[in-house]
Homo-oligomer: A and B are copies of this chain.
Amino acid sequence: MDWQERIRAKGLRISEPRRQIMTLLAETTVPLSPAAIHTCIQKQGGSLSLASVYRTLRLLEDLDLLCQVYLADGNLGFMVHDSGHHHHVLCRCCNRSVDFPGNDDLLALAARVEELTGYTISDHMLQFYGLCPQCRQA
């Protein structure tokens, strides 16, 4: 089920802003902030209001079509959400981001933390930071 079907399935409509944002995010490897998305699309000749960017991002994230990552500088960026549980590695230099499938690596740790703290753990957030192949050479 692609993103358009997912939107229609909710009784919502495929509009130009939604198309523009999904297209932009689908072809970039760098997570983009709302402001960056706005200026980026305007540079390409497109036109959409900043309010629409925020509205659309929230919608697409609710539909699980996008996910947020914390950039190296602490800001938030949006990316298309790949299927299945996964995490991201981000380049501290260029922000380029790649995801990798989530697996059971954290299960043992989570169990230990539950025992240690008394909390009941339901989920987690994990991101790796480093240098991408391109930036390592420079």
Nearest CB of B to A66, in Å? 14
Q: Indicate if A12 sits at the interface (CB-CB under 8 A).
A: no
Most buried by B among A103, A125, A132: A125
Q: Does A84 contact B (CB under 8 A)?
A: no
Residues of chain B contacted by A132 (CB below 8 angstroms): 118-119
Report whether A130 and B122 are in contact in the complex, using a CB–CB cutoff of 8 Å: yes
Q: Which of A19-27, A39-47, A104-112 contacts B (4 or more CB under 8 A)?
A: A104-112
> In the complex the two chains form, is B121's CB within 8 Å of A130's CB?
yes
Band of interface residues on A:
35 or more
Q: Which of B116, B118, B119, B131 contacts A119 (CB 8 A)?
A: B131
For A100, the chain B residues whose CB sits under 8 A away are 112-113, 116-117
Select from chain B the residue with minimum beta-carbon distance to A102.
B109
- A125-B70, A127-B125 known; A120 and B105 CB under 8 Å? no
Q: Which residues of B contact A103 (CB under 8 A)?
A: 109
